[in-house]
Amino acid sequence: MTPPSAATARSSASRSTTRSAKSAARPKAAKSTAKSAASSTSAAAESGQAAKSTGKWAKETRLGLVRRARRINRVLAETYPDAHCELDFDNAFQLLVATILSAQTTDKRVNMVTPELFATYPTAADLAAANPEDVERIVQSTGFFRAKTKSIMGMAHALVERYSGEVPPKLKELVTLPGVGRKTANVVLGNAFGVPGITVDTHFQRLSRRFGWTTETDPVKIETEIGTLVQKSEWTDLSQRLIWHGRRRCHARRPACGACPVAPLCPSYGEGPTDPKVAAKLVRSEAEALDAQ
Ligand code: SF4
């Protein structure tokens, strides 16, 4: 079956994507990007296959790949104009804590526990001095609560001891903090500091492979490779758009290809149902997407 035109698919997609009152009231820093935690090794298995090397993209040149990547980014920007980090936060410290807590759970779940956590421990010094059992009780519902408590308190200790309680705005410093890897660091850099960063979470891995942007499975290599395709100024927003698209349409299993705005640009079109009616039923609403990891 032939993919739909970009205009037709985009029009359909835009109708189902509306700006929420909640996000409209969100601090400016929150509107640009990030989250989602999951194992870096699962993307290849979830996507089922690497980028296809057959079809009309079999002889795609490097220039063609760059142009197609940027067109996909533009279509996703039109489709998800409000794509943003779905974790609630008011400052870099809160986003760092929330991102660590988001591993293996939903942003929605994290947002349910952080109001009490941040009210009880508003600063790194407060969290570093907390009773671990009290913190565990608050974050329990996010899962792996003992390990997460250890991570966020260890991170808070490190901030107090090495950075006067402030979150450093540099990748090389962020990744030295307990519980903080490149993915978490890039979320914080992009969304709290406005420093462009590519967040290679499970959705980003799966989609970048389906788009044929990379065949890599290592997150750092993916980050480097995609960084050469798309302008640096777009890195943070691109990350968020792929995460939103992954949560709403390009699912690990049964992607909604027949209701996908980037279908005409996607070598993996057909990996999911192409019938528009069947595909439309696979598209998650905003509320359903919030419940997705
Ligand atoms: S066409 Fe299918 S595989 Fe490609 S991005 Fe859209 S939903 Fe994902």
Residue range 243-272, pLDDT digits in tens: 999 999 999 999 999 999 999 999 999 999
Q: How confident is the model at residue 3 (pLDDT cuts 50, 70, 90)?
A: low
Q: What are phi and psi of 196, to 5 degrees?
A: -55, 130
Residue 4 confidence (pLDDT):
53
| Predicted confidence (pLDDT) per residue in 65-91, tens digit | 999 999 999 999 999 999 999 999 999
Top mutation candidate among 271, 274, 283 for ligand 1, by most atoms within 8 Å of CB = 271
Pick the atom of ligand 1 nearest to 270's CA: 2
Q: Is the CB of 249 under 6 A from ligand 1?
A: yes
- Cβ of 265 closer than 6 Å to ligand 1, yes or no, is no
Calculate mean pLDDT across residues 96-104.
96
76-to-88, 135, 167, 219, 268 alpha-carbon distances in Å: 23, 38, 31, 22, 16
d(CA 216, CA 6): 27
261 lines ligand 1 (CB under 6 A): no
pTM above 0.85, yes or no: no
DSSP 189-250: HHHHS--------HHHHHHHHHTTS----SHHHHHHHHHTTS-GGGHHHHHHHHHHHHHHTS
Locate the ligand 1 atom nearest the alpha carbon of residue 266 and give its number. Answer: 4
Whether 271 is in the pocket of ligand 1, judged by its Cβ within 6 Å, is: yes
The 10 Å Cβ neighbour count of residue 21 is: 7
Q: Average of pLDDT values for 92-98?
A: 98
Q: Specify the 3-state DSSP secondary structure of 222.
A: helix
CATH of domain 92-192: 1.10.340.30
Question: 137: CA distance to ligand 1 center in Å?
Answer: 40
261 CA closest ligand 1 atom index:
6
Residue-wise over 41-61: b if at least 16 C-beta within 10 A, else e? eebbebbeeebbeeeebeebe
Report the alpha-carbon distance of residue 285 to residue 283 in Å, rounded. Answer: 7
Q: Is 250 annotated as a binding residue?
A: yes
Q: Where do we find the tokens 């406005």?
A: 194
Give the H or E element holding residue 161: helix 145-163
Which residues form the catalytic set?
183, 201
Residue 85 annotated as lining a ligand binding site: no
CATH 1.10.1670.10 in the chain: give the residue spans: 6-78+197-290
Span from the CA of 262 to the centroid of ligand 1 (angstroms):
7
The whole-angstrom separation of Cα 188 and Cα 94 is 10
Ligand 1 centre from 188 Cα, in Å? 28
Identity of the residue numbered 272: G
User: Could you tell me where in the chain the CATH 1.10.340.30 domains are found?
Assistant: 92-192
Report whether pLDDT(170) > 80: yes
Q: What is the DSSP letter of 10?
A: H
Nearest of 197, 204, 156 to residue 179 by alpha carbon? 156
Distance from residue 5's CA to the centre of ligand 1 (Å): 13
CA of 269, closest atom in ligand 1: 1
Cα separations in angstroms, 78 against 6, 75, 136, 146, 245: 11, 5, 41, 41, 12
CATH number of 6-78+197-290: 1.10.1670.10
Task: Read off the pLDDT band of 291 (50, 70, 90).
Answer: confident
Query: For residues 15 and 283, what is the distance between their CA atoms, to the nearest angstrom?
Result: 12
